Every structure is written in C-alpha cells, then in structure tokens.
Amino acid sequence: EAGVTQFPSHSVIEKGQTVTLRCDPISGHDNLYWYRRVMGKEIKFLLHFVKESKQDESGMPNNRFLAERTGGTYSTLKVQPAELEDSGVYFCASSLDRERGNTIYFGEGSWLTVV
C-alpha cells in the first residue's frame, strides 16, 4: 500500500514567487493534515481536512497560504507570494479516522527554500 506522497520533494524559489505543494494521502483516509517545520523549531500544525472540508485551519500563518482538497482526495498548499520566513519543511499527513489512538501517517515532506 502506498504511503502519503508529497510533491515536490524540494523547491527553491525567489521571494515573491508562488509555489504549490501537493499531497496524496493514503487511499481511503478522510483526514488530511498539513504541518510545517521551520529551521530550529518544532513541527507545527497548519490545518486539517476531513474529506473536502476544512475542519480546522487555525494554524495557517496568514492569507498568503491557501489549502484546498477538491473532491476529498489529494490536497494542495499554495504559498503566494512567498516570503523568506516561509522556508521550511512542509509535511502532509493522513489518518483513517479521528478516534483516539489512531495512527497518523506522515509523508516525506516538501522542503521549501525561499531566497
């Protein structure tokens, strides 16, 4: 069974440009999460989808970040325009349900560098 896949694995863009990160969750997982880790900090929550609906987007840093999950399958996270402080690793994760004790599976991450 394929795990959570993310694309691109690495991206280097200039300040002011746009980047779109894609995440394909494990098939059948209704819950999809986006997290971010910036250098030297802990991983932090960005948002949570249940199917195509945004369940919790309180972790999104500002309106330059837009996440979508059309059709409840894959998700995209767009950063527009990118700023230097957006550099970091963006992790996508998915889980089968939200019950206590469910396993959350992470992708390998999309490493974003804004120069």
Partner 1 sequence: KNQVEQSPQSLIILEGKNCTLQCNYTVSPFSNLRWYKQDTGRGPVSLTIMTFSENTKSNGRYTATLDADTKQSSLHITASQLSDSASYICVVSASRDGNNRLAFGKGNQVVVIP
Where does this chain bind partner 1 (CB under 8 A)?
A: 4, 33, 35, 41-45, 48, 55-56, 91, 98, 100-109
By beta-carbon proximity to partner 1, the closer residue of 34 and 65 is: 34
By beta-carbon proximity to partner 1, the closer residue of 4 and 114 is: 4
By beta-carbon proximity to partner 1, the closer residue of 14 and 40 is: 40
Please, are residues 70 and 52 in contact by the beta-carbon 8 Å criterion? yes
Min dist CB 16 to partner 1, Å, is 28
By beta-carbon proximity to partner 1, the closer residue of 28 and 41 is: 41
Whole-angstrom distance, CA of residue 113 vs CA of residue 90: 11
- Strand 110-114 vs strand 10-13: parallel, antiparallel, or unpaired? parallel
Min dist CB 58 to partner 1, Å, is 8
Min dist CB 100 to partner 1, Å, is 6
Min dist CB 76 to partner 1, Å, is 18
